[in-house]
Amino acid sequence: MNTFSGRTTGNIYVARLAKGDDLLAQLNAVCERSGFRQGAIELIGAVEKAALGFYDQVAHRYATIRWETPMEIASGMGSLSIKDGKPFVHVHLTLAGEDGSCVGGHLCEGVIVFAAEVILREIETDRPLERTPDADTGLFLWR
Ligand code: ZN
């Protein structure tokens, strides 16, 4: 376990995303505009289609699952931290279809926004929330 202590700065940045754009690209743009380097991300809304990742814990790679149907963003949450010296967005989504059943996973490129509301909260920690390669998982994790 790696732990960090810190606080929320009280600074927030709020955005409504545009229809038709890529969700991950827009979240990166929102975080860049905010000027925050570290933060907590939450969002709700709807998507026109989706692509979510599932990490194969043996093969150490993501499989991408795609849906070509509209869905609600029942929940979206994640973090803004540092990777390769730059702010990096990591978000997981729970998406609900028209019968209310949900799917979920790691936000990938290819999730197209219908509408979305994002709240970003800046956090400060005693040392940077920096992602580095982790041999046990094959992921870039906070060191
Ligand atoms: Zn993930």
User: In Å, how far are 20, 38, 85, 140 from 82, measured between CA atoms?
Assistant: 28, 7, 6, 10
> Which pLDDT does position 63 carry in this prediction?
98
In the structure, ligand 1 is a single-atom ion and the residues with CB under 5 Å from it are: 106
10-50 tens-digit pLDDT: 999 999 999 999 999 999 999 999 999 999 999 999 999 99
36 CA to centre of ligand 1 in angstroms: 20
20 CA to centre of ligand 1 in angstroms: 23
> Which pLDDT does position 117 carry in this prediction?
98
> Which pLDDT does position 12 carry in this prediction?
98
DSSP 72-125: EEEEEEEEEEEETTEEEEEEEEEEE-TTS-EEEEEE-TT-EEEEEEEEEEEEEE
67 CA to centre of ligand 1 in angstroms: 18
90 CA to centre of ligand 1 in angstroms: 6
> Which pLDDT does position 55 carry in this prediction?
98
- pLDDT tier, 9 (very low <50, low <70, confident <90, very high otherwise): very high
93 CA to centre of ligand 1 in angstroms: 9
> Which pLDDT does position 139 carry in this prediction?
97
45-74 tens-digit pLDDT: 999 999 999 999 999 999 999 999 999 999
139 CA to centre of ligand 1 in angstroms: 9
- pLDDT tier, 130 (very low <50, low <70, confident <90, very high otherwise): very high
140 CA to centre of ligand 1 in angstroms: 10
Quick check: 139 and 90 in contact, CB under 8 A? no
Quick check: 42 and 142 in contact, CB under 8 A? no
76-99 tens-digit pLDDT: 999 999 999 999 999 999 999 999
> Which pLDDT does position 28 carry in this prediction?
97
Q: What fold does the segment set 11-142 form as a domain? A: 60s Ribosomal Protein L30; Chain: A; (3.30.1330)
Hey, where are the domains in the chain?
A: 11-142
Rounded to 10 degrees, what is the CA torsion of 21, 23, 119, 11?
-90
- pLDDT tier, 100 (very low <50, low <70, confident <90, very high otherwise): very high
Q: Which residues pair with 94 in a beta bridge?
A: 75, 104
